[in-house]
Amino acid sequence: MVERCIGNVDVLAARLREEITRLGRAPSTGRGLSLAVSGGSVATTFFPRWAAEATFDWGSTDVFWADERAVPPTDPESNYALARSLWLDSARAPADRVHRMRADDPDLAAAARDYDAELRRVVGERPVLDLVLLGMGPDGHVASLFPGHALLGEAGLNVAAVLDSPKPPPRRLTLTLPVLTAARTVVIGAFGASKAGIVRLAIEEADSRLPAALVARGAGRTVWLLDAEAAGQLTA
């Protein structure tokens, strides 16, 4: 099932809050809610609101990342650093529930294997995250899965090293399509007129091979969160 919510930031944040609240009532594991989050505009849009959200029980939420750049955890380019500064520090998220992707490890393949093991330990041998929050890049990429990349065919690994990302930096870790589409709910956020064309392609082209479209169609439940500008070229 693919749904869309179109509105201003308040409307989109409220919809995301509803999704989190609903999933949190009956999480996929007995540990509590599990999320995977991204960097970019979904992070800067929603994390400050999550930090101020008293109704969420972040203390019993496992936080994973959909992707991470090969930079130290203190680097301003780090998706982890962004989440820490905008959300997790003020939410006082417990350290053992925050599962950083160690994409700064020189042995990226080993870091991917370790993260895969961590995912399986927390959300099951065939990992089922409650919610994955993705942004969509201007080329239709989500997480660090880029259009036409061989990793889109990855069927065995839950986490993979990327050595040739067209978006800098080239080295990254990413969740793969099987684990993203296994999530109970996938939320894809896109904001601004610069995303309008790619939003239309990802949503309206029935056989689109854009990574965002593959995730949206492959997941059991996808919710697009779009502002009016990003939704501006949708025809239906």
Residues that bind ligand 6PG in the complex, under the rule CB under 6 A: 38-42, 67, 69, 79, 135-137, 143-144, 167
User: Least distance from C-beta 87 to ligand 6PG, angstroms?
Assistant: 14
Measured from the CB atom, is 66 or 123 closer to ligand 6PG? Answer: 66
User: Least distance from C-beta 29 to ligand 6PG, angstroms?
Assistant: 24
Measured from the CB atom, is 12 or 27 closer to ligand 6PG? Answer: 12
Measured from the CB atom, is 27 or 137 closer to ligand 6PG? Answer: 137
Q: Which residue is nearest to ligand 6PG (CB)?
A: 40
User: Least distance from C-beta 31 to ligand 6PG, angstroms?
Assistant: 24
Measured from the CB atom, is 82 or 93 closer to ligand 6PG? Answer: 82
Measured from the CB atom, is 27 or 65 closer to ligand 6PG? Answer: 65
Gap between the Cα atoms of 30 and 50, Å rounded: 22
The residue with tokens 């053992």 is 96
User: Least distance from C-beta 209 to ligand 6PG, angstroms?
Assistant: 17
